Structure 1
């Protein structure tokens, strides 16, 4: 399973979220519970017909990520919301296919579940 993890400002629009996804083709969207409830995120998930995994902050704490934001690490206990959300939602043994990419108010990362037979190494 391919999972897009998203971190974004509360003010992000559906269009900004969609633009950040670009040509990624996730099977699931993952983000923090508080962000998953926002209208722009819900609208994007509906538009794409994708399920959502809304993660509690505690689920991301302690998740090692290859990129780091000091502010995010201090607040959430992980270096990247997008990377941590993608990894947690993809399940045990998941690998990062794309490290975080920042597009305006949105950060996106993509992970693949360990059960996916076509899994490959991380790319930037």
Structure 2
């Protein structure tokens, strides 16, 4: 299973999220047969993200903010601003790894657009 970790600003539109997601998938050279989206719990209700999950027929997983901290060492990139807010260098990377489960690996480090970040992880069972 491929998990796309998504970090986003409030009010981000579906087209903006899809553009970042598609860019991450292209960079990784992946066309997933199944996709799961993951983000922090406080952003899981964002209309643009819900629409993205629906349009891609993807499960959306909400990761509690405090659960992200356990993935700090596995993050490949670091935003000082995000680290001060959430205690982890990349919400997208940590959310992808958390939702992919134990033994998962980061296969595409965080990429960023103006309003969205996206990282990809592969679960150990896929």
TM-score normalised by the chain length of structure 1:
0.88
Contact preservation (8 Å) 1:7, 1:108: yes
Q: What is the alpha-carbon root mean square deviation over aligned residues?
A: 1.2
Contact preservation (8 Å) 1:5, 1:31: yes
Partner of 1:30: 38
Q: Say how many residue pairs are matched.
A: 116
Runs of 4+ with >3 A deviation = none
| Higher fraction of helix | 2
What residue ranges of structure 1 are gaps of 5+ in the alignment?
117-124
Contact preservation (8 Å) 1:4, 1:109: yes
Partner of 1:17: 17
Residues 62-83 of structure 1: CA deviation (Å, up to 9, x unaligned): 3121110111111111100000
- Establish whether residue 97 from structure 1 lines up as the match of residue 107 from structure 2: yes
CA separation in 1, counterparts of 2:79 and 2:52? 26
Equivalent position to 1:49, from 52, 57, 63: 57
What residue ranges of structure 2 are gaps of 5+ in the alignment?
26-31
Greater RCO, CA 8 A, separation 6+: 2
- Establish whether residue 82 from structure 1 lines up as the match of residue 92 from structure 2: yes
Contact preservation (8 Å) 2:11, 2:46: no
Secondary structure of the corresponding residue to residue 12 of structure 2: coil
Contact preservation (8 Å) 1:62, 1:77: no
TM-score normalised by the chain length of structure 2:
0.87
Contact preservation (8 Å) 2:77, 2:109: yes
